[in-house]
Amino acid sequence: MRRKGVSILGSTGSIGTNTLDVLRSHPERFRVVSLAAGRNVSLLRAQVEEFRPVFVSVETEDAASALRNSLSAPVFVEAGPQAAMKAASFEGVDMTVAAISGAAGLLPTMAAVRAGKDIALANKESLVLAGSLIMEEAAKRGANIIPVDSEHSAVFQSLLGHRREDIKRIILTASGGPFLKTPLSELGRMGPDEALRHPRWKMGRKVTIDSSTLVNKGFEVIEARWLFGLPPEKISVVIHPQSIVHSMVEYIDGAIMAQMSAPDMRSPISYALSYPERISSGTEPLDFSRLSLEFSAPEPERFPCLGLAYEALKTGGTAPAALNAADEVAVGLFLEGRVPFTGISRIVGEVLGAHRSREPRSVEDVLDADREARELARSVAASA
């Protein structure tokens, strides 16, 4: 069997390390062609020694020289956004796992799409920022986008064998994060330690905070709009604290297809890597004798960021990019202890309210809107 060539963007992160875990179990199917990471040189060095990619990119020149000096055998190492784009589109890559966190993932994801690579998409921000541009380019280049986000993987799987015109709505599940039951009056006192204590998933810091405000679910609503071509009114969200049902599709006859598994990202990652086949992922089987599944509606006053995300999606244009930029700034300030937890939704709401949305014609237009919204978010935060 010809081995599938894989590029992993964000190899040192939570999705990246889970991806390498799956690849490690299937050396007969996959080979790692390129890796892209940020600054975690010691972990990246171990990955390069084990998987022997042809090309490696890191965020800075300092990280590049530290990596080169630590390797036992020479490997091509380059630094900066252009290097990440090169890793994404490297010759011999069949599938690019897009798992850099935040807006920094956009250019490398777009580079992979432009090169016609299939994409295993974890970096939802790419679609939040530039959904129309990425989907247009993917259609033009014949690049398949297979979701890695567990919710979108569940929807993708629940759509197979059904007609698009029969969909009534899709239902994204949300665990509700660590503050699902916290009295509303206490939310303002919650700090990074509490917000980083996610009850179900072990993820990177940014996406963990985003899960506590549910803006992450809002990003996923926007991601679903582009992946599945559905309007906002056909995308709903339900709280499901156990994270066993990863999402559902309801059809016009009332039938609902759901995808279930233990909460382990190796399951959707292995599906994206091997689609349309299935391979073992290491995920524990479900024990139905011990399962109890609960569902409830998200409370708007507890999770104002979810409403803001729907608003940005309905406004369209560069509004979702402004939403994401404001959130990245606000979460960064929250993690530094400079704004309270409730300040995140305040900053995002004010930036979105002031942003003048326009239809982006290029990735550069999107990045301009991103920069503008970041500046505004910093000044909103400073004026509090």
Ligand X SMILES: NC(=O)c1ccc[n+]([C@@H]2O[C@H](COP(=O)([O-])OP(=O)(O)OC[C@H]3O[C@@H](n4cnc5c(N)ncnc54)[C@H](OP(=O)(O)O)[C@@H]3O)[C@@H](O)[C@H]2O)c1
**Residues in contact with ligand X by the rule CB under 6 A:** 10-16, 36-40, 59, 84, 99-101, 104-105, 122-125, 149, 201, 203-204, 206-207, 265
Q: What is the dihedral of CA 272, 278, 284, 287, to 10 degrees?
A: 120
Which residue lies nearer to ligand X by CB, 158 or 175?
175
What are the residues facing 120 on neighbouring strands?
A: 97, 146
3-state secondary structure 212-259: HHCHHHHHHHHHHHHHHCCCHHHEEEEECCCCCEEEEEEECCCCEEEE
Shortest spacing between CB 212 and ligand X, in angstroms: 13
Shortest spacing between CB 80 and ligand X, in angstroms: 8
Shortest spacing between CB 295 and ligand X, in angstroms: 21
Which residue lies nearer to ligand X by CB, 40 or 70?
40
How, if at all, do strands 256-260 and 245-251 pair? antiparallel
Shortest spacing between CB 57 and ligand X, in angstroms: 7
Which residue lies nearer to ligand X by CB, 210 or 350?
210
d(CA 81, CA 369): 19
Which residue lies nearer to ligand X by CB, 325 or 380?
325
Query: With 0-12 CB in 10 A as exposed, 13-18 as middle and 19+ as buried, what is 161?
Result: exposed
Shortest spacing between CB 62 and ligand X, in angstroms: 12
Question: CB within 8 A of 155, min separation 6: which ones?
Answer: 147, 170, 172, 224, 227, 228, 247, 248, 249, 259
What phi and psi, each to the nearest 5 degrees, are found at residue 32? -85, 120
> Which of helix, strand or coil describes residue 29?
coil
> Which of helix, strand or coil describes residue 190?
coil
Shortest spacing between CB 126 and ligand X, in angstroms: 8
Which residue lies nearer to ligand X by CB, 150 or 274?
150
Which residue lies nearer to ligand X by CB, 265 or 339?
265
Which residue lies nearer to ligand X by CB, 366 or 380?
366
d(CA 169, CA 146): 20
Question: CB within 8 A of 364, min separation 6: which ones?
Answer: none
Which residue lies nearer to ligand X by CB, 101 or 350?
101
Which residue lies nearer to ligand X by CB, 44 or 380?
44
Shortest spacing between CB 41 and ligand X, in angstroms: 8
What phi and psi, each to the nearest 5 degrees, are found at residue 143? -90, 125
In the block, tokens 């994060």 appear at 177
Which residue lies nearer to ligand X by CB, 16 or 176?
16
Shortest spacing between CB 237 and ligand X, in angstroms: 15
Ranked by CB distance to ligand X, the top (closest) residue is 13
Shortest spacing between CB 344 and ligand X, in angstroms: 16
Residue by residue, DSSP assigns 66-129 as HHHHH-SS--EEEESHHHHHHHHT-TT-SEEEE---SGGGHHHHHHHHHTT-EEEE--HHHHHH
Distances (CA, A) of 232 to 21, 91, 302, 307: 35, 38, 21, 12
Shortest spacing between CB 381 and ligand X, in angstroms: 21
d(CA 196, CA 158): 31
